[in-house]
Amino acid sequence: MSDDAPDTTSTRGPLTSTLQIGRETRKQVRASSGRRIAGRAAGWVLRIFVVLLVLEIISKFLTADAMRWDVVGEYLFTPKVLDGVVLTLVLTAVAMILGCVIGLILALMKISQSLLLNVAADGYIWLFRGTPLLVQLLFWYNLASFLPTLSIGIPFGPQFVELDTNTVITSMVAAMLGLGLNEGAYMSEIIRAGIQSVDQGQSEAAAALGMSRRRAMRRIVLPQAMRVIVPPTGNQVISMLKGTSLVSIVAISELLYTVQVIYARNFQTIPLLVVACIWYLFLTTVLSIGQHYIELHYARGATRSVPDTYLVKLRKLLVRSTPRTIAPQETTRP
């Protein structure tokens, strides 16, 4: 381009530039609104597809020929099934208490300054978290074949107390040991993460007030760590409730073993499994609701918020969809 060519850009006035910017802005607004409408349409298509898929699955499940709902209603509240439900809850409670106690001890060992305690805690976690729970249950159940007697005494020396293994390690004890010791390995990492999530300044402030490390841990650190510990612990409780079904391998009459014994006699396999599923779903739902309110209790004063329940979400949706009428303001004349 020669130097004598007119510069068109310099001849544009401010009004021309403003009109061009306005046209570009309107194009961008139309493009963004089009994308927004397409996104909303795709969202509604996806919602309709999910609803239709769920309805199809429910219809297949309810109308199947093998589904005998009269058998489900007959065995849902039988005394044997209710006894299995109670035993499932007992196993869950005992295993979680044992796991929480072991997990707290291991967590304190891991954050201590002792190398020996660190190695011992890491070895325990490595062993019990690295082997399947079913294998551990079978090991404790068959411990008598490995150690016919359990003794307490001096290593490689005289033994002071000797007990028969079959007498001490019954099926119930084997189930509790297998579930509780395995859970302790997982709870140790949860508790350790919760303790280390508390700011170091809290411990320093407690030390400045003259508190001992034990008292500061009990009164200052652990209450704040519960905000981090409670959510995964609730998940572990629910997982433990379902994991108790594995103890049926050692002939414990919990919920799954009970329905297995029943359908082995009447050959109503699917209806009896549905009975077990209904009870598991009911218990996990109750535990989930309890977990939500425990989280609300420990989240007081924290910046993070606990997710709303479905009732709260429905209430907010109804309030949002209700049209608001603005009352006319009265003007006062002087």
Nearest to 118 by CA among 127, 109, 126: 109
Please give the pLDDT value at position 214. 79
Please give the pLDDT value at position 205. 83
Please give the pLDDT value at position 301. 59
- Kindly provide the b/e burial profile for residues 282-291, where b requires at least 16 CB atoms within 10 angstroms of the residue's own CB: ebeeebeeeb
Tell me if 258 sits within 8 A of 84, measured CB to CB.
yes
DSSP string, 93-116: HHHHHHHHHHHHHHHHHHTSS-HH
Please give the pLDDT value at position 303. 53
Please give the pLDDT value at position 1. 45
Please give the pLDDT value at position 307. 62
Report d(CA 328, CA 321) in Å as an integer. Answer: 22
Q: Mean pLDDT in each 10-residue stretch from start to end of the chain (334 residues)?
A: 48 52 62 77 88 86 77 89 94 94 92 91 93 92 85 76 84 92 93 86 81 81 84 91 90 90 88 92 92 79 60 70 52 50
Report residue 133 CA to chain centroid gap: 18
Tell me if 61 sits within 8 A of 67, measured CB to CB.
yes
Report d(CA 144, CA 7) in Å as an integer. Answer: 99
Please give the pLDDT value at position 16. 54
Tell me if 183 sits within 8 A of 96, measured CB to CB.
yes
Please give the pLDDT value at position 14. 54
Strand partners, 162: 151
Task: Determine phi and psi for 2, rounding to 5 degrees.
Answer: -80, 165
Q: Which two tokens stand for residue 109?
A: 């060992």
DSSP string, 218-253: IIIIHHHHHHHHHHHHHHHHHHHHHHGGGGGGGT--
Q: Which sign, positive or negative, has the C-alpha torsion 251, 255, 260, 262?
A: positive
Please give the pLDDT value at position 165. 84
Q: Is 277 helix (H, G, I), strand (E, B) or coil?
A: helix
How many angstroms separate the first and last alpha carbons of the chain? 72
